[in-house]
């Protein structure tokens, strides 16, 4: 807070594990509403001067920050991996996708330009400007401890706001280090602050009257809670929730490439991604059998390892509780009648027997009525849901409660185009298994995958973190007024008592 490390006085702590060995490696203090109040006071004092700095100078701070993060990429990735469990190469990707948005935010002088109409009426010009909300807050999940905080903070700060981050208490160290690097880049104290905590801190953020906007990523139930409570408190809220992304495999798809894509999208980062691809929908029985025959050996070849294993495809999940939850979902799938083709339960890694590892699992003959299909498992589990036709395959993601991402694998441009137009999902990949948009477009799902009217980053992010002010101006013609007075006429026109028009 205010550029200083401040210990929480709450006396409450959360455990930070090393998932590779299943051991507590640190504890994080869980803050209080009073501590948030102090952070808000600091932010409120610092924000007006930051907003008054011209956008080009704010962009220079973002450029400097980007260079500092790039210089520390390896150490940040290892720190991230040590708390999350994802392999170091994946942790680098986590950071890089966040830096892509920082790079986008470096263009803020152009992005903040408003609109201008000369001569909207007789002697009247109209123009608009975008101004910061004031103080914004981000509440971020464990699965992307660098990317998502950067998605939120980069645009919020570049547009002139102060930003308070409440990261996941499961892997809090990288967000703190990002704050230190912002400070080193020249960001004034109080513009980026990190507070830790659990539900008590979340509720304090949602209720605080001085926080004007909140961005959240997490499960759908919590996203809906955050959105409802934040909006009730008069805030602008974007709350991204869960997902159950589908991959439609058409009979003409390149199955070798599709299987490679599915393995990466379903099992990368141990499936702990809201844009993971946990459901594959082959169209036609023949496609399903050919796909299954290729998936089994590909899954068998996957290598699990510790986060620092350069040859590992993925590492452990984040906590023992999450490991148990995933394994309960696997058991639920069996009880519901799905065929468990590959069982990842009971996996242990020699020398790391207490690590939170879950092997890859594959189900076949999953049906839409099964709870294991309807809900998000958030682990290394791939489910095959067979479809007899294109229309049936299209209906599955369209009718699902979640609508984050979807992909179609095909060589048929007409089928791909029709699918992209008709599917009821927010982000679509065509032969792209994880269709996360680039930083200058925007990220956001539909249905129970997102609550609020604005997506993240891109111009949607600029719009979320700013308010539009529109000015209508007219300058009196003094020469005309003086001539009127000389001629004995009125020096000014009589005020209008009807609604103004520009005609």
Q: Which helix (H) or strand (E) holds 68?
A: helix 55-71
Phi, psi (degrees; rounded to nearest 5) at 280:
-115, 135
Cα distance between the two ends of the chain: 54
Strands 23-29 and 13-18: antiparallel
Could you tell me if 245 and 168 are in contact, meaning their C-beta atoms sit under 8 angstroms apart? Answer: no
The catalytic residue among 106, 274, 302, 416 is 274
Helix and strand element counts for the chain (H, E): 17, 20
Q: How far apart (Å, rounded) are the C-alpha atoms in residues 382 and 271?
A: 9
The encoded tokens of residue 268 equal 């990368």
Could you tell me if 360 and 344 are in contact, meaning their C-beta atoms sit under 8 angstroms apart? Answer: yes
Give how far Cα 299 sits from Cα of 163, 170, 293, 333, Å. Answer: 42, 29, 11, 19
Q: How far apart (Å, rounded) are the C-alpha atoms in residues 257 and 247?
A: 13
Q: How far is CA 135 from the centre of its chain?
A: 19
Question: Which residues in 374-426 belong to E strands, given as ranges?
Answer: 381-384, 402-403, 405-409
- Name the DSSP letter for residue 268: G
Q: Is 250 left (phi over 0), alpha (psi -120 to 50) or beta?
A: beta
Q: Where are the alpha helices (DSSP H) in 168-254?
A: 173-184, 199-207, 220-232
Q: Which residues contact 488 (CB under 8 A, 6 or more apart)?
A: none
Q: Is 160 left (phi over 0), alpha (psi -120 to 50) or beta?
A: left
Burial 356-378 (b: 16+ CB within 10 A, else e): bbbbbbbbbebeeebebbeebbb
Report the candidate in 354, 351, 356 with the shortest Cα–Cα distance to residue 316. Answer: 356
Report the candidate in 299, 326, 329 with the shortest Cα–Cα distance to residue 314. Answer: 299
CB atoms within 10 A of CB 497: 5
Q: How far apart (Å, rounded) are the C-alpha atoms in residues 438 and 152?
A: 15
Q: How far apart (Å, rounded) are the C-alpha atoms in residues 358 and 339?
A: 18
The reply to whether 106 belongs to the active site is no
User: What's the number of CA atoms in the CB half-sphere (13 Å) around residue 142?
Assistant: 23
Active-site residue list: 274
């Amino acid at each position: 807070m205010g550029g200083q490390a401040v210990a929480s006085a709450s006396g409450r702590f959360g455990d930070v594990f090393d998932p590779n060995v299943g051991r507590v490696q640190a504890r994080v203090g869980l803050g209080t509403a009073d501590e948030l109040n102090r952070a808000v006071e600091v932010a409120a004092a610092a924000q007006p001067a930051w907003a008054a700095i011209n956008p080009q100078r704010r962009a220079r701070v973002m450029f400097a920050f980007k260079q500092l993060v790039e210089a520390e990429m390896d150490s940040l990735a290892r720190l991230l991996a040590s708390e999350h469990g994802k392999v170091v190469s994946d942790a680098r990707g986590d950071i890089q996708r966040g830096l892509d948005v920082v790079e986008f935010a470096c263009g803020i002088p152009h992005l903040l330009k408003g609109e201008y109409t000369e001569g909207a009426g007789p002697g009247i010009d109209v123009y608009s400007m975008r101004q910061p909300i004031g103080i914004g807050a981000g509440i971020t999940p464990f699965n992307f401890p660098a990317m998502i905080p950067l998605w939120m903070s980069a645009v919020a700060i570049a547009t002139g706001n102060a930003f308070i981050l409440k990261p996941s208490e499961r892997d809090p160290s990288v967000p703190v280090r990002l704050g230190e690097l912002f400070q080193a880049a020249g960001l004034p104290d109080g513009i980026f602050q990190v507070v830790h905590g659990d539900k008590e801190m979340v509720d304090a953020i949602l209720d605080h009257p001085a926080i004007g906007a909140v961005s959240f990523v997490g499960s759908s139930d919590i996203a809906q809670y955050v959105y409802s409570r934040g909006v009730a408190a008069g805030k602008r809220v974007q709350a991204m929730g869960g997902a159950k992304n589908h991959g439609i495999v058409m009979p003409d798809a390149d199955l070798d490439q599709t299987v490679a894509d599915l393995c990466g999208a379903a099992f990368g980062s141990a499936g702990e991604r809201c844009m993971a691809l946990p459901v594959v929908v082959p169209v036609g029985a023949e496609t399903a059998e050919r796909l299954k025959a290729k998936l089994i050996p590909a899954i068998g070849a996957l290598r699990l390892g510790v986060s620092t294993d350069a040859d590992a495809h993925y590492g452990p999940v984040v906590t023992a509780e999450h490991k148990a939850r995933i394994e309960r979902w696997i058991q639920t799938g069996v009880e519901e009648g799905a065929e468990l083709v590959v069982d990842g339960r009971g996996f242990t890694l020699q020398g790391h027997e207490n690590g939170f590892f879950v092997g890859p699992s594959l189900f076949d003959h999953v049906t839409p009525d099964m709870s294991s299909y309807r809900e998000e498992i958030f682990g290394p589990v791939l489910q095959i849901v067979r479809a007899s036709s294109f229309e049936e395959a299209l209906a599955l993601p369209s009718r699902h409660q979640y609508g984050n991402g979807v992909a179609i694998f095909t060589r048929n441009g007409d089928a791909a185009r029709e699918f992209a137009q008709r599917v009821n999902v927010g982000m679509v990949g065509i032969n792209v298994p994880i269709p996360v948009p680039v930083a200058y477009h925007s990220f956001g799902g539909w249905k129970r995958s997102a609550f609020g009217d604005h997506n993240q980053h891109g111009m949607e992010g600029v719009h979320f973190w700013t308010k539009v002010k529109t000015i209508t101006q007219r300058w009196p013609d003094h020469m005309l007024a003086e001539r009127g007075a000389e001629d004995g006429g009125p020096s000014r026109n009589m005020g209008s008592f009807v609604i103004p028009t520009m005609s």
